[in-house]
Amino acid sequence: MAETDQTTDNPINNPAEPTWFQPLVGDDAPAERIELLKGYDTPQAFLEDFENTKNRDWRVDIAGDDAKFKSQLDRFSTPADMGKSFREAQATIRGGMYKQAPAPDATDDDIKAFREANGIPAEPEGYFENLPEGLVVGEADKEIFTDFATKMHSKNVSPEVMQEVIGWYNGFAEQQQEQLAEIDHSHHQETEDALRNEWGSDYRTNINMVSKLLETTFGEQAKDAILNARDGEGRAIMNIPEIVKGLAGLSRKMDPLARVISQNNDPAQTLNNEIAEIEKFMRTNRKEYNADQKMQDRLLELYDIRLEHDKRKTG
């Protein structure tokens, strides 16, 4: 009697049950493969499932409905790349680079021990000690950085991270200052061009009048504050032509002698001296005086200033 064939259930070896996949797997296919193919009634069904599996994004199988995790997996081209990254991360963790942060219910001693083990200062101010060469916290920024350091210290941020933040901030602040200086220079040129075009030869006199008005009215310190003040859009107010013109007009109304550039802190005496000099020149050099329209206009201006000043004194 012939020995019973151990694979009689295999359709490949049962000619009474011919199958569509016999040419695909041959006569010696493993039973597991046969069982897999038996799930498909036709070659078309098998090919459709094969195409779907081939084109399926392997990241979806791993991340499921987690869109954020899926976006992280998008950084990897193949599952092998992801596996390599995972192995490297595990090696880093086992090597002690990342130490587990204190638990929410950690004691003060636990937190202290963690900070000592990771080089984190005992107090927030310690972040600013032993900074790398060239890295500083300016006086104007100390308050904000101290507040920031306190917050970061509560999260046990490493000194290296704080130094990176300080370096970034310093670079950012320097860049902002450079950009602001360029904008201020551009606005100053625009304002000066506009005022010179309108005032002509009176430009320097009017600017000096404005400066004197601010100093005598508000004092030197407040004058500097006004000169450095900015409007709501960040433009320096002294780079706004309308403001400078308004201050110049106000100065003329408040003090006629403001138009006189005094050399001895006595504008009235300077006024009289300049009038006397021009009158003397007019008497001794009449022809030259008559040909100098600018000198004639200046003498008339000085007369007007003296007349207005005298009216104020007697009024």
Report if residue 253 sits inside a domain.
no
Which pLDDT belongs to residue 77? 83
Per-residue pLDDT band for 9 (boundaries 50, 70, 90) equals very low
Q: What percent of the chain has pLDDT over 70?
A: 83
Report if residue 313 sits inside a domain.
yes
What mean pLDDT comes out for the span 128-138?
A: 86
Cβ–Cβ under 8 Å, residues 141 and 166? no
Is residue 10's pLDDT more than 80? no
Is residue 133's pLDDT more than 60? yes
What mean pLDDT comes out for the span 18-26?
A: 69
Is residue 275's pLDDT more than 80? yes
Question: Containing domain of residue 41, as a range?
Answer: 1-46
Report if residue 156 sits inside a domain.
no
Which pLDDT belongs to residue 54? 67
Is residue 122's pLDDT more than 50? yes
Distance, in Å, from the CA atom of 59 to the CA atom of 54, rounded to the nearest integer, reads: 13
Report if residue 147 sits inside a domain.
no
HEC profile of the chain: CCCCCCCCCCHHHCCCCCCCCHHHHCCCCCHHHHHHHCCCCCHHHHHHHHHHHHHCCHHHHHHCCCHHHHHHHCCCCCHHHHHHHHHHHHHHHHCCCCCCCCCCCCCHHHHHHHHHHCCCCCCHHHHHCCCCCCCCCCHHHHHHHHHHHHHHHHCCCCHHHHHHHHHHHHHHHHHHHHHHHHHHHHHHHHHHHHHHHHHHHHHHHHHHHHHHHHHHHHCHHHHHHHHCCECCCCCEHHHCHHHHHHHHHHHHHHCHHHHCCCCCCCHHHHHHHHHHHHHHHHHHCHHHHHHCHHHHHHHHHHHHHHHHHHHHHHC
Arithmetic mean of pLDDT over the chain: 82
Per-residue pLDDT band for 15 (boundaries 50, 70, 90) equals very low
pLDDT: is 70 or 143 the higher one?
Answer: 143
Report if residue 78 sits inside a domain.
no
Report if residue 83 sits inside a domain.
no
Is residue 222's pLDDT more than 90? yes
**What are the tens digits of pLDDT across the range 223-263?**
999 999 999 999 999 999 999 999 988 887 776 666 665 55
**What are the tens digits of pLDDT across the range 34-44?**
777 777 778 78
Q: What percent of the chain has pLDDT over 90?
A: 33
Contacts by residues 152-160 (CB-CB < 8 Å, ≥ 24 positions apart): 152/124, 152/127, 153/120, 153/121, 153/123, 153/124, 153/127, 156/101, 156/102, 156/111, 156/114, 156/115, 156/118, 156/120, 157/120, 158/118, 158/119, 158/120, 159/119, 159/120, 159/121, 159/126, 159/127
**Short-list 129, 187, 188, 120, CA closest to 154:** 120
Is residue 13's pLDDT more than 80? no
What mean pLDDT comes out for the span 145-161?
A: 92
Is residue 151's pLDDT more than 70? yes
What mean pLDDT comes out for the span 141-158?
A: 92
Report if residue 279 sits inside a domain.
yes
**What are the tens digits of pLDDT across the range 50-109?**
776 666 777 877 888 888 887 877 888 888 888 887 787 777 656 554 566 788 888 989
Q: Which two tokens stand for residue 276?
A: 């006397």
Cβ–Cβ under 8 Å, residues 12 and 22? yes
Per-residue pLDDT band for 291 (boundaries 50, 70, 90) equals very high
**What are the tens digits of pLDDT across the range 170-213?**
899 899 999 999 999 999 999 999 999 999 988 888 898 898 88
Per-residue pLDDT band for 12 (boundaries 50, 70, 90) equals very low
Cβ–Cβ under 8 Å, residues 11 and 34? yes
Q: Which two tokens stand for residue 254?
A: 């408040």
Report if residue 290 sits inside a domain.
yes
Q: Number of folded domains in the chain? A: 2
